[in-house]
Amino acid sequence: MKKVLSVFLAVVIMAVAVLPSFAKSDKCNCGEAPIIYVAALGSGTLTLDEGTENERVLFRPEIAEILPDLLPIVPAAVQLIADKNYDAFGDVLIDCVNSVFGELALDENGNSSDRVTCEEFHPDTADHGMEHSYYFGYDFRLDPVENAKLLHQYIQEVKEITKHDTVRWRASSMGGVVTMSYIRLYGTADIETIIFQCCPLQGTAVAGELYNGLVEINKDALKGYASQALPELGSDFLAGVLLALIEALDMAGVWDSLLVIADDLILNLKDRVFAECLIPIFGTLPGIWSFVPDEYYESGKEFMQLDPVENAQLIAKLDFYHYEVQSKCAELIALAKASGTTMYNVLGYDMQRTPLVTAYRETSDGTVDSKYASMGATCALLGETLPEDYTQAKYTDKNFMSPDRVIDASTCVMPENTWFIKDMLHSTTHDGHDELYDIMFESEKQLTVFDLEEYPQFLQNDVVNQCFYPVEAETDDSIKGAFDDLMNQFTFTKLVELIFKVIYSIIGA
């Protein structure tokens, strides 16, 4: 009996001795905090009437699935070119838009009907580290602040399943809007690193202008967009819809004729399209409202006819995001850095953006304006450079001017932690991005654009070779340039170069 007791006691003592180290090893000590990917618009599948015989995917549907809804536009466009009956065409167009997007509308308070449900996201494996990242998606229509609360729950689940106290994450596009809302609500004490990628942190001109009815069709820009950006934006749902439509119209031979009457089309139909579909649908979506930049915001609320009484709850949501999150992005970034979180911003420039609004000349990644994604960089218009007499606005002891003189990064919120990728299409990445992100994720200290020799602040995107190289100064290859160059410093090589350019220009013409 005594022996049994002493064995028992020994076991108890051993257990007690071992317990604290059990508690310690309860945490994962791999040294790699889990990485979460806070995804872009459309990341959470929206279903209408789930579990019923009428169940269908509302967003994003397959293009092929909605094409039948869109195709009536083609014969209607042919008819329009023949008879110029804008009203009849408007009936068809508005029907099409409403049948594709109508069910996405929220109620007057910015809440979803019970008929539309979003898939839920939960971490499903304990595998973590550089090779595996967790995926967080959400209902893009809703208030980003509500989605930030879901993200917070998700992070608690990731921490629990991986046995880590901290996480790291990369936010893509709209994911940045949710991330900023998260920082406003919860701070970043348990976040080691945040990488923003092509995020509309201060909005997009497209949303701002659409919400103010500032629509125009610039034909040259539309052609540029159709050939340059649309085919590559395969993952962008709206771009997919537009491309499918343009191709259908092109096959029917009506696209060019439509462009000729584009101005009349807008003059005759704009008011109806806004009143009968754009305002009823998009006016109710806090998620899309979060893309409206400050200079468009209050006038947008008026244009979208939000009613102070009927839409009081919706307006409260919109105002909270706008004035407490978007307008305070500089303070929120400073707050995050102060709590020890390393912060990075990566974005694109020099791509043709959606040409349906007057801001089509702003340099962008095809979707988000570089000045808004960077939170305040000074950018030249697309195809132009900053004026010859322009000099860097701030922090002149270091260089923040792009070698091609398109961007002055000194005026943005994180001048030392923002990378500009020339010709990077919106959230379209390759191995080169992953390598850069890995360096950012693995560094314990905050890296700056001056720390990495291979990755200076301005990088040229090379999609084919999946890498970047430093942006170089635009070489002036005009004849006048070559002549000036020769006058500056007369060498035989420069003379040959000038002669070659003159001959080339004659042959070329």
Chain contacts with Zn ion (rule: CB under 5 A): 28, 30
Of the pair 164, 371, the CB lying nearest Zn ion is at: 164
Q: Are 244 and 67 a contacting pair, CB within 8 Å? A: yes
3-state SS, residue 392: coil
Q: Are 198 and 172 a contacting pair, CB within 8 Å? A: yes
Q: How far is the CB of 382 from Zn ion (least distance, A)?
A: 45
Of the pair 30, 487, the CB lying nearest Zn ion is at: 30
Q: How far is the CB of 161 from Zn ion (least distance, A)?
A: 11
Of the pair 48, 167, the CB lying nearest Zn ion is at: 167
Q: How far is the CB of 25 from Zn ion (least distance, A)?
A: 12
Q: How far is the CB of 437 from Zn ion (least distance, A)?
A: 19
3-state SS, residue 59: strand
Q: How far is the CB of 197 from Zn ion (least distance, A)?
A: 24
Q: How far is the CB of 16 from Zn ion (least distance, A)?
A: 27
Please give the structure tokens belonging to residue 139.
Answer: 């209902």
E strand or H helix at 342, and its extent?
Answer: strand 342-349
Of the pair 190, 319, the CB lying nearest Zn ion is at: 190
Backbone angles phi, psi at 342, to 5 degrees: -85, 135
Of the pair 23, 82, the CB lying nearest Zn ion is at: 23
CB atoms < 10 A from the CB of 321, how many? 23
- Residue 343 forms beta bridges with which residues? 194
Closest by CA to 173, choosing from 269, 337, 287, is: 287
Of the pair 28, 252, the CB lying nearest Zn ion is at: 28
Distance set, CA 154 to CA 132, 142, 218 (Å): 16, 17, 43
Closest by CA to 473, choosing from 399, 370, 371, is: 399
Please give, one letter per residue, the 3-state secondary structure of 440-485.
HHHCCCCCCCCCCCCCCCEEEEECCCCEEEECCCCCCCCHHHHHHH
3-state SS, residue 212: coil
The Cα 344–Cα 342 span in angstroms is 7
Q: How far is the CB of 29 from Zn ion (least distance, A)?
A: 7
Of the pair 164, 426, the CB lying nearest Zn ion is at: 164
The Cα 365–Cα 450 span in angstroms is 23
Q: How far is the CB of 124 from Zn ion (least distance, A)?
A: 16
CB atoms < 10 A from the CB of 323, how many? 12
The Cα 506–Cα 417 span in angstroms is 46
Q: How far is the CB of 156 from Zn ion (least distance, A)?
A: 16
Of the pair 28, 246, the CB lying nearest Zn ion is at: 28
Of the pair 84, 132, the CB lying nearest Zn ion is at: 132
